[in-house]
Chains A and B, each alone.
Chain A
Amino acid sequence: MNQLNEIPTPASGYRVEEMDGELLLYHPQSTATVYMNQTAALVWQLCNGDRSVGQIISILEESFPDLDTEVRADVLVALKSFSQHGALKS
């Protein structure tokens, strides 16, 4: 998930538990639990199946202008992690 025009889409079947800004995704069939810190949780919430990777980065850069140099890397790391855990449709 490195191309900015790719559209990350959440895989189906995950239960989502929001806890103080952090997220846990749980998949009953695979019994996998995925922990997301606050940054990753924000990225996940922006993955709605319509937005591209580039659009997600732009939204977060506008929201956190002080952190704009880190946002791009954080988003790509988070998306890679979602993908590795099978939380995104391939």
Chain B
Amino acid sequence: MVEYCSKTFVQLGQCAVVIRNYSQSLEPSLQFLLRDLKSEKSRTEIEFTIDDGKTDAKEYVIKRGDSFPHRAKTAGEVCTYLIGEIIYHLIDKNEKDLLLHAACLTYNGMGLLLPGVSGAGKSTITAWLLENGFGYLTDEIVSVNLGTWLTEGLARPLNIKLLGMEAIRNAKIGKLENATILDSSISHLVEHRAFNPHFVRETTHIKVIVFPRYSATKDFSLTEISSAKVTLLLMQAFVNARNHAEHGFHDISKFARSVKGLELTYSNFDELLALKQKLLEMMTDQRFKKPTS
């Protein structure tokens, strides 16, 4: 009997993980999840294995090294769990790069960062901006190289919460009829090419940072904020701070000085037209202001 096995490396910044899949039935879903995350590099510290369960009940078993296995019943549950674990382990040991919990897009070759806690609307705004001509790096996590200040993102499928998905469908954003979508109980993993068919994997220098906040009850506002405010808010999105000397405060403030910051409160897609207009004004000057002390 020939045993099925695929191997995929995923790297972000200095850290990598490898995923070995022994479940042939899961492979299409896994390829959907990892398609734009694959790396050629083989240096790795963490290994995940996925297998079909041995019981009659249809289930998948996900293990990290010798850890206690996690069991999932659907491909959507496997992918949602696995991407969370991958992100955790890419962050956990990274002590060289600035890793920020943020969506990241490009326009005109320049980078736009959207940091925010879960529920702030990162993925939903990302879908709208992709539909409006921006390029995709990630909806979840970026790595900023401390030497070159080049930013790369984990280009997973968009992870859109149930409410955001409803809004996207109602506003007819993207080409969802033929898109691959994996469902879990809390969100949908949606093919980012549904919004962004001409995707090219790229790195960028960040020019503008927008801190979004979705609120159904608050009035729209879009306000420029100071470098000090940008630093304060970025520190809250800085997920590997504990791996850096003095929690990377000096590096984050250096980074903040080199970008422009905006705070956004919005309740619907129509209001994002004002954001787009502002971004296009801010992202026309292609010069990169290298962070300095």
Q: What is the interface of chain A, defined by CB distance below 8 A to chain B?
A: 15, 17, 19-20, 22-24, 26, 28, 31, 33, 35-36
Contacts and interface: CB of A to CB of B under 8 A. Distances in A.
Contacts of B249: 15, 17, 24, 26, 28, 33
A24 B247 CA distance: 14
A35 B227 contact: no
- Is the contact region of chain A dominated by helix, strand, or loop, or is it mixed? strand
Contacts of B229: 22, 35
For the complex of A and B, the 3 pairs showing the least CB-CB separation, nearest first, are A22-B228, A19-B228, A26-B249
Nearest to A32: B235
B257 A28 contact: no
Q: Which of A15, A26, A31 has the most CB of B within 10 A?
A: A26
Contact of A33 (B226, B235, B250): B235
A35 B232 CA distance: 7
- Is the contact region of chain B dominated by helix, strand, or loop, or is it mixed? helix
B17 interface: no
A24 B203 CA distance: 30
Contacts of B50: none
A26 B246 contact: yes
B247 A19 contact: no
Nearest to A35: B232
A23 B228 CA distance: 7
Given A17-B253, A19-B257, A33-B235, A28 B226 contact: no
A82 to B, nearest CB: 15
Given A17-B228, A35-B232, A28 B250 contact: no
Contact of B247 (A17, A22, A26, A35): A26
Contacts of A24: 228, 231-232, 249, 253
A36 B188 CA distance: 40
A24 B249 CA distance: 10
B90 interface: no
Contacts of A17: 228, 231, 249-250, 253
B18 interface: no
Contact of B232 (A15, A31, A33): A33
Given A22-B228, A24-B232, A28-B249, 12 more contacts: A15-B246, A17-B231, A17-B249, A20-B226, A22-B226, A24-B231, A24-B249, A26-B235, A26-B247, A35-B229, A35-B232, A36-B228
A15 B232 CA distance: 13
Contacts of B98: none
B241 interface: yes
A15 B250 contact: yes
Contacts of B231: 17, 19, 24, 33
A19 B232 contact: no
B226 to A, nearest CB: 5
Contacts of A23: 228
A31 B241 contact: yes
Interface string B215-245: 0000000000011110110010000010000
A39 to B, nearest CB: 13
A53 to B, nearest CB: 24
A31 B247 contact: yes
Contacts of A20: 226-228
A35 B228 contact: yes
Contacts of B241: 31
A19 B227 CA distance: 6
A46 B231 CA distance: 23
Nearest to B254: A17
Contact of B253 (A19, A28, A36): A19
Contacts of B235: 26, 33
